[in-house]
Amino acid sequence: MHPTARSAEFVESVESTDASATARPLNRADFKTLGLSALGGALEFYDFIIFVFFTGVIGELFFPASTPDWLRQVQTFGLFAAGYLARPIGGIVMAHFGDRSGRKRMFTLSVLLMALPTLAMGLLPTYAQIGVWAPLALLALRLLQGAAIGGEVPGAWVFVSEHVPARRVGLACGALTCGLTLGILLGSLVASAINLRLDADAIRAWGWRLPFLLGGAFGLLAVWLRRWLDETPVFESLRARKALARELPLKRVLREQWRSVLLSTLVSWLLTAAIVVMILMTPTLMQQLFALPVSTTLSANSLATFALACGCLVFGWAADRYGAARILGIGSALLLCAVYALYFGVAYDGRLLRPLYALAGFCVGVVGVVPTIMVRAFEPAVRFSGLSFSYNLAYALFGGLTPLLVVLLMRLSPMAPAHYVAALCLAGVLVAIWLHRDAARSISRSA
């Protein structure tokens, strides 16, 4: 079968070799797997993104006081981006062993590799104490975090999708993505609480350390939780039939399924734009563009992130019912409208921030469809490697550079963040059309 048709066929059906390819309803074991996976993912994602909510104070403490504000902002977002640039390394290594040795082992290891650097960040000395070694140490820890998250997110999607029935893969991936976004919500709530209860001097002196120390504790809790998970039925079936990849899994992916890599990279780019710009950067951008108070933007961000979590569940359920390609196209179009409504609406009246941000957050939930498309694009024997490579490649190329690119583009247009997300939404619509047409051709050939 032609690779394009093969990818399109996988979007709507799982291969018959999957042990989960049945029409049974979700059972207690499925709910246990989804619950523990989502909770562990939320705690780990909190560790990775809490950095972005304290970029202002981190920039002040880890770079020379004489640095211009705009350059300090670029440098701090550069540290944030470093975590994304390291993701492919961790993703490729963990995915290799995930395809060869088991999903569960890597699923647990990734949490431990996230918890320890986060804990260390909360204990780091500042620039005033050790000079240039401070930002260098912070950079090294961000790289370790990036390597950990590079294996966590793809591994989580593969893990839950291989546990549930085929007709519930969309809901399972949506629920897992919901859990990951709740990690962002937890970070937003912690940041809001610290900003409300502590004054600027206290935050600068010691308050900024609290969320990182808390994150380290969260990560260790997640390690303990994952002891209760079982290996996926799909991997156990592959191992029993001696059908595991005999060669380097990534080599096979690049040789035989490069079209699936291209497809997965494109939809991951949309995911990075939606999450990084709309959820992680928008609170800071709203403060800069429209002079809104920090507490106001953070509370609105919490509301938007909760709406995002709900959106992931709704879009994931809809993908199972109406088809992943169709929902991707509809969701991308809705997000395009919502992002412009948010930025132009708040420019007109700042009081519109909360309702428009909540609406945009719900539409960002279209990212809950993305893992369903990627999981079904690769064969089970190399699924972890294929998905991880594509996802982390997109984040390294686009996600990690997005904050820097958006900040620089804003010097040309203050609405650059909205334009950037809108452009990727258009790409999402085009990908959906491509998938729908390829699926139709595949059905026509089989008939």
More reliable by pLDDT, 135 or 48:
135
- Residue 28: the pLDDT is 75
Residue 401 in 3-state DSSP?
Answer: coil
- Residue whose token pair is 């900040």: 407
- Residue 2: the pLDDT is 45
Instruction: Identify residue 263 by its one-letter amino acid code.
Output: L
Is residue 430 pLDDT above 70, yes or no? yes
Instruction: Identify residue 381 by its one-letter amino acid code.
Output: A
The CA-based angle 40-44-46, given to 5 degrees, is 120
- Residue 440: the pLDDT is 62
More reliable by pLDDT, 221 or 310:
310
9 pLDDT tier (thresholds 50, 70, 90) = very low
CB burial class (10 A; 0-12, 13-18, 19+) of residue 310? Answer: middle
Query: Residue 355 CB: number of other CB atoms within 10 A?
Result: 14
Average pLDDT over residues 397-410: 80
CA 294 to chain centre: 24
What digits encode the pLDDT tens for the residues 139-198? 888 888 888 877 778 888 888 888 888 788 899 999 888 988 888 788 878 888 888 888
Choose the weakest-confidence range: 41-55, 271-285, 348-362.
Answer: 41-55
367 pLDDT tier (thresholds 50, 70, 90) = very high
More reliable by pLDDT, 48 or 442:
48
Is residue 233 pLDDT above 80, yes or no? no
Is residue 333 pLDDT above 90, yes or no? yes
- Residue 356: the pLDDT is 96
| Domain 3-446 fold | Growth Hormone; Chain: A; (1.20.1250)
Average pLDDT over residues 296-319: 92
Identify which of 115, 139, 379, 398 has the alpha carbon closest to the alpha carbon of residue 249.
379
**397 Cβ contact list (under 8 Å, min separation 6):** 269
Average pLDDT over residues 432-436: 85
Average pLDDT over residues 316-326: 92
R_g of the chain computed on alpha carbons: 21
Q: Are 239 and 389 contacting, i.e. CB atoms less than 8 angstroms apart?
A: no
Q: Are 97 and 162 contacting, i.e. CB atoms less than 8 angstroms apart?
A: no
23 pLDDT tier (thresholds 50, 70, 90) = low
Reported pTM: 0.79
What is the rounded average pLDDT for all residues in the chain? 81
Q: How far apart are CA 176 and CA 180, in angstroms?
A: 6
Is residue 359 pLDDT above 90, yes or no? yes
- Residue 6: the pLDDT is 47
Which residue ranges make up each domain of the chain? 3-446
CA 15 to chain centre: 26
Q: What phi and psi, each to the nearest 5 degrees, are found at residue 17? A: -75, -15
- Residue 242: the pLDDT is 63
- Residue 441: the pLDDT is 63
**Axis crossing angle, helix 353-364 with helix 294-322, rounded to the nearest 10:** 30
- Give me the percent of the chain exceeding a pLDDT of 90: 21
Number of residues that make up the chain: 447
Average pLDDT over residues 31-49: 78
* DSSP structure string for 95-138: HHHHHHT-HHHHHHHHHHHHHHHHHHHTT---HHHHTTHHHHHH
Is residue 222 pLDDT above 70, yes or no? yes
Q: Which of 70-79, 368-377, 386-395 shows the highest mean pLDDT?
A: 368-377
- Residue whose token pair is 């260098």: 136
Identify which of 37, 251, 41 has the alpha carbon closest to the alpha carbon of residue 148.
41
